[in-house]
Amino acid sequence: MTAARRPRPKGRAALSYLWAHHRLALVAMVLGAVFALFFALRLIVFWIYWSDPAHHNQRIEPWMTPGYVARSHGLEQAEISEMLALPPDTPRGLTLQQLARMTGRDTATLIEELQRSIDQSTGRP
């Protein structure tokens, strides 16, 4: 003889049941869904942004970071750091203007040198 199965709760009753009996699992599932949604939206936003040809090979500006310049010009960030002669322990996320100040160079000169190096590296005139 088999044990009779209880009917499964539906809708709000299911959530009430899960909250009462499996609170930790429910919280973990909701947090996982929130994180998944966050990263999915972030992926979509970055994909849309970098799919726009206007963001490729942009003129270098002082507000840009080496990572942004690298993405815009199709290079690795390590290549840009090498072109700027940055020490390996340089914090990430600094703008070109901040890096120029840190290294004691003029921002315009740093940008011109970087643009020349990128042009040589990519074979652009």
Range of the domain at 89: 56-122
Count the helix, strand and coil residues of the chain and give each as a percent rounded to the nearest 5.
65, 0, 35
| Domain assignment of residue 85, yes or no | yes
Same domain, 61 and 114: yes
Look up residue 5 and give its DSSP letter.
P
Residue 124: its pLDDT value, please?
A: 72
Tens place of pLDDT per residue across the chain (125 aa): 566 777 777 778 888 999 999 999 999 999 999 999 999 999 999 999 888 888 888 899 999 999 999 999 999 999 999 999 988 888 989 999 999 999 899 999 999 999 999 999 887 76
Alpha carbons 120 and 65: distance in angstroms, whole number:
20
| Domain assignment of residue 6, yes or no | no
Using alpha carbons, select from 86, 82, 110, 117 the residue that is nearest to residue 96: 110
Other CB atoms within 10 Å distance of the CB of residue 64: 20
Same domain, 45 and 60: no
Residue 8: its pLDDT value, please?
A: 73
Report how many domains make up the chain. 2
| Domain assignment of residue 98, yes or no | yes
Phi, psi of 49 (to 5 degrees): -60, -50
Using alpha carbons, select from 103, 106, 92, 104 the residue that is nearest to residue 62: 106
